[in-house]
Structure 1
Amino acid sequence: MSTRQMKIGGDNMPGRQDEMSIVDHLGELRKRIIYILIVLVVGLIIGLFCANPVYQYLISVDSAKDIQLHAFAFWDGIGMYMKIAMVVALVLAIPFTAFQLWAFVSPGLREVERSAALRYVPYVFILFLIGLAFGYYVVFPMALSFTTTITRNMGLTETYGISQYFNFMFTLVLPIALLFELPLVVMFLTKLRILNPKRLRKMRKLSYFALVFIAVIITPPDFISDFLVTIPLLILYEFSVFLSSVVYRKQLAADEAAEERYRFPANPDSK
């Protein structure tokens, strides 16, 4: 019995059918995870070849040109190469992972929900790239400039290791890139009628608190980094509410049109 034909109850042996359905369901999940891991491995291999040019590009940001990086351990260089390769693999695997997630849950969705979810897959990659660009070109230079300025004003000698530099960068940029998926998630859940703008507005205070908490957790322990990440997250939440309102209004218009057609059906005999 395939997952596309999975039924709960309604059979002569419900316990056995449910057990087979769960086994098939877990088998499908394992298959999707294996596909994702294969793509990650391929992306990791590609990332190893791209690591050096990506590294040279990442240290070319204006605020980092005056910083001389050092290696404090024998594995610092290769460790950074592996981390850069993993980031490249993650970027390449994001759209494929979104498609595999859609393929896994699509048997349980209605046709309209299935087509709507599939249309969102390309935007997962686009929003992730926008988040990467925003984190790298906006948030990271500001945070780096602020921290180095404070260090120099205190008269301290700057000696930065390559691990500290890239850990600081990745800690800021990658979570921001992932959190840029928030509007898409909200739109999708609104499309499925799980969320709506009224509920999101009622949850605003709780959501703000959660976003501030996330910003504090994912950023280095300094106020400016927390602030630079929190503000974009709050703006993203409000933008998500706006997009949810757009989707919700279209749903209400479609429901009203369907109700009108049901209330006043067309007369096939009329001319």
Structure 2
Amino acid sequence: MAKNKNKGGEMSFLDHLEELRWLLVRSSIAILIGACVAFAFSGYIFDNIIFAPKKSDFITYRIFCDLANKYDLDKSFCVTEIPFSIQSRTMDGQFSTDIWTSVTAGLILAFPFILWEFWKFIRPALYDNEKKSAVSFIISTSFLFFLGVLFGYYLIMPLSINFLGNYRISDVVENNIDIDSYLSLIKTTVLSCGLVFELPIVIYFLAKLGLVTAGFLREYRRYAFVIILILAAVVTPPDVISQMTVTIPLVILYEASILIAARMNKTPKKTA
């Protein structure tokens, strides 16, 4: 149990709630500050980051096109344009989009600080040697999150946009995409990948609590690989290189999680 600094005793349930409340307040302020910074540069963010994957010269398309030409593979990325337009159909649509996009960017920017606040909240319940690993925890967790965000932005998102933007059931139907739908795809993809890349950290804590073992992860490895392959097949064109580009990082994450679980299972449990 955490100690009450003022009374020297254990904190009550209400004291824990108070600490949690201030954690949420400080985290919200950090997100708000990040959102204000993002709002100040919203023009650059929309033109050069959010709408960049819609342009045919986006770096991912160019790399895949070069690989397709070199190895005589699918040429779906070698296009002059992605045939859909983005529209706003409500009066406050663009203003609301600007605000909520800034909030999302603020959340991403404030992620390391939120982690630090979370660490301070759980620190009193940890052993002394575990408290010393605060810096490594913040760095590793933040690194994996931002790596996942980049993975989603540069791989999953352009693959999805290229596939969905070119998908047609008939030439009669035009793709005029609402801006909310476009941004929803981006936010979901980027944040989901950021969270998925936290898998090794999640496994670390689950293994520490005895809820997951390396044997369990090995037993269900084949099912995990099937799910990963299905995901890669859905978001990529039908060629081996693009599918493996998505599959390999996710497989590495899963294998890393097995190694972490195995190490934690071997670590002798300490008594309080």
TM-score, with structure 2 as normaliser: 0.70
Residues 79-126 of structure 1 show CA distances to partners (whole Å, capped at 9, x for unaligned) of 221122012111122111111111011101111122235421122221
Paired residues of 1:69 and 1:160 also in contact (CA < 8 A): yes
1:259 corresponds to = none
Structure with more relative contact order (C-alpha pairs < 8 Å, separation 6 or more): 2
User: Which of the residues 152, 176, 184 maps onto 1:135?
Assistant: 152
* 2:61 is aligned with 1:45: no
Gaps of 5+ in 2: 59-80, 238-242
* 2:234 is aligned with 1:224: yes
2:2 corresponds to = 3
2:74 corresponds to = none
Residues 101-153 of structure 1 show CA distances to partners (whole Å, capped at 9, x for unaligned) of 110111011111222354211222211111111111111111111112222x6
Q: Tell me the amino acid that sits aligned with residue 77 of structure 1.
A: Q
Paired residues of 1:3 and 1:24 also in contact (CA < 8 A): no
Higher helix share: 1
1:12 corresponds to = none
Greater mean deviation of Cα atoms: 183-192 or 127-136 = 183-192
The structure with the larger Rg is: 1
Alignment root-mean-square deviation, CA? 3.6
Mapped to 2, the partners of 1:144 and 1:186 lie a distance apart of: 31
Q: Tell me the amino acid that sits aligned with residue 33 of structure 1.
A: L
Paired residues of 1:3 and 1:107 also in contact (CA < 8 A): yes
Paired residues of 2:214 and 2:262 also in contact (CA < 8 A): yes
Q: 1:198 is paired with a residue of what secondary structure?
A: helix
Call closer, same or farther: CA 1:140–1:241 in 2, change over 3 Å: same
Q: Once the two structures are aligned, what percentage of the paired residues are identical?
A: 25
User: Matched residue pairs, number?
Assistant: 230
Q: Tell me the amino acid that sits aligned with residue 4 of structure 1.
A: K
1:85 corresponds to = 102
Q: 1:69 is paired with a residue of what secondary structure?
A: strand
Task: Report the Cα offset of residue 198 of structure 1.
Answer: 2.5
Paired residues of 1:191 and 1:247 also in contact (CA < 8 A): yes
Task: Report the Cα offset of residue 203 of structure 1.
Answer: 5.8
TM-score, with structure 1 as normaliser: 0.70
Gaps of 5+ in 1: 7-16, 217-222, 256-271
